[in-house]
Each structure stands twice: as structure tokens, then as C-alpha cells.
Amino acid sequence: MALPIEIIEIVLLKLSVKSLLRFKSVCKSWNILISDPVFVRKHHLRQLQSKGSENLFLLKNSEVNSYGFSLVKFEEKGQKIETLQQVFGPYLWATVLCFCEGLILISDLSNKNFALWNPSTRTHTYFQATFYCGEAAFGICHDPITDDFKVVIAKSYDYSVYSCNNNSWTMLEKRYETKYNDYRVEYGLGVCVDGVSYWASTHKPQIVYYDPRDDEFKILEKPEILNDTKSIHVVELMGCLGMYCYKGSNETSVRIWTKGKGIDNHSWNELVNVENVVNVAKSTWRIEPQCLVGNEIVIRTNEPKDDGLVVYNPCKNTFDAFEEIKVFGFGLVPYMETLFFPVEKSGRIITGEFGFPIEKPETMED
């Protein structure tokens, strides 16, 4: 007796992406179900709800060659990192620019060719910028209304939005409430949470964000207690927007805050004040929170000759180093399985010298 399609869907929603891709070949009805955008959306929401529970991250293998990434798992007890497998991206030499809900934006050395890469399905969408991208900031957004992933490239006075649904660019001008507002943002350091891209301003200590619902740049309110802060940085912490800040170079502690869930929730809670950072770094400016593992915080020390990871226990106010771990480029990238999204190409981009894509010969098979 065949099971009702509703029961089959409930079972399939609990499976991994790897299993779902394999089960698409079981029969035509399963293929149609797993490929259905409604099913993809339901599976994606389920993965978002459990995101971070497995403590999975992608870590660049080399300072010069980012073609290979290590998929690693952080153990909740002890300073242990388990390498699960190697994952290969579409470019030989590439820069990780940002990530959003399981998708990673990377570029080659030309900073003109981009790939929006899904490491869990080993697929990508390749596209090019039709404008100069030097000194720009990058972000990815997931529009909840249209289920469209949008790539945002922001410059001083304008920004361009690439729609994956439409495969097209739209250039927009930044609009300010007053002439004194400044939306300049840090190069390449976009943080994508709740489908929104956030950046820290380089001109004044504030956070700006791109709202995909109306394609507008906006300023995020921050706690009044931080008005005298000299520098603000943003990071994703367990699916929430995190902010860490310093009052000055002579400080010995770093304060970390988290924003409430939801685009329109501007409330903040102080997570922890990391004290005595001079024990692991020469300056607070070197400290970069990366993720939460249980009740501990994994921190990148970002020293020129010793760019490694330490775990901070806020209860004991102690630091413990992870042995034989080097961090390159963007740092730790949270890994999340997702079936999103329809792509024009699968497998790896065929690359020539310096990782630039070349036209694929018609006789070559994937």
C-alpha cells in the first residue's frame, strides 16, 4: 500500500540535502516533490531553525589557494575541531566576500567575475559585474516575499543589486534623510542575517543595512550607551546579528552585543564583555569573534604571524587555544545545507590562468 504524499513529504523534509538529491531518482513523483519550490522553501526554513546546532563551518585551507575548503565541526566540550571533508569551490584563486543562509559569494582575482556558490549541493550561479567593483562592499540578501537571493555591491554613493531570479542588475542611488548622514561601509565585510545585509560604517560608528523588501539603505539603531564608541564591527552569531566594539586602542576588553531576531527588531542585548584580551593578542583591534559554541566564544586573534583561534570561557574568564589551526581570508563561514536555488550551471567552473573562467568546450561533459 502506497503512503500518502503528505506522509512522504514529512519524512523527506527531515533528510539531508545529499539524501534528497539522491532520492530524486527514486521515481518521477519524488523528483517532482523534491524539486517543488514549496518543498524547497519548507526544507530551507527547517534548516534555518536548526542552523548552528551542529557547529559546522567552512575554513579556507590556504592563504593563497582558496579552491579547497575544510568542512569542520567544533566540539562543545574541549578545544577540539574535527575535519569532516574537503569541499571545492568553483575558482582556483578566489576571495570569499560574504554568505547568506547556506550560499557563499566568491569572486576571482579580477574582482569582476562572481559565483554564488552552494557548497552543500556543489552547484553555483556565475555572473559578471558590468561596473567597477574596487573599494566596494558586498552582501547577499534573501527576499522573503519573492524567495529571490539578491547580491548587493555597495559603493560610496550608489549600489547595485543583482537578482538571481531575473539574472539582471539594478543600479540605485543612496538616499539620505539629511546631508550629514554617511553610509560608507567597510570593504567586503557584509554580514547577512534574517535575509538582510549589514555593514559597519567606516566614517562613524554606526551600522547600515540593505532592506530587500524596498531596496533601500537604512541606518540600524544602536544602544545609546555605545555613543562614545570609537569603532564598531559586525558578525553573525548563531543566526543573530552580533556587534563588537572598542572604545580605544588602550582598552583591554571587547564588548559583544546581539540584536533581536527579525528585520524590524532593533533591540540589543549585551552578550558578554571579553576581558584581558592582551593575554592572546597585542591589541583589542586584533580580536574578531567568530562564533558561539555552547556558552563559549570562538575568537580569531588575527595576529600577522599567528592568525589562529582561541575559545573564551566567560564564566572562568579564560582563553584556550586550538592547536594547529590557521585562519585565512574571511575566517569561519557557517555551513548550512539548503536546496536553494535554481542554477544555470552545476559542478565546477572551468578555469584558465589565475582562476579566470573560460568558455566550456561543447564536447566536454560535467
More confident residue, 294 or 161: 161
Bond preceding residue 330 cis, omega within 30 of 0: no
Residue 244 has pLDDT above 50, yes or no: yes
| Dist CA 290 CA 334 (whole Å) | 9
Q: What is the mean pLDDT of residues 250-257?
A: 80
If DSSP states are collapsed to H, E and C, what string results for 229-242?
Answer: CCEEEEEEECCEEE
Number of Cβ within a 10 Å radius of residue 12: 17
* pLDDT the model gives residue 222: 80
Q: Which residues share a beta bridge with 265?
A: none
Question: pTM for the complete prediction?
Answer: 0.84
pLDDT tens, residue by residue, 1-20: 577 888 899 999 999 999 99
* pLDDT the model gives residue 63: 59
Name the residue type at position 257: W
* Structure confidence at residue 313 as a pLDDT band (50, 70, 90): confident
More confident residue, 228 or 277: 277
Provide the mean pLDDT of the chain.
79
* pLDDT the model gives residue 280: 74
Q: CA angle at residue 194 from 146 to 45, to 5 degrees?
A: 65
Contact criterion met (CB below 8 Å) for 335 and 57: yes
Side-chain half-sphere CA neighbours of 180 within 13 A? 1
* pLDDT the model gives residue 11: 92
Bond preceding residue 23 cis, omega within 30 of 0: no
Over the Cα atoms of the chain, what is R_g? 21
Residue 287 has pLDDT above 70, yes or no: yes
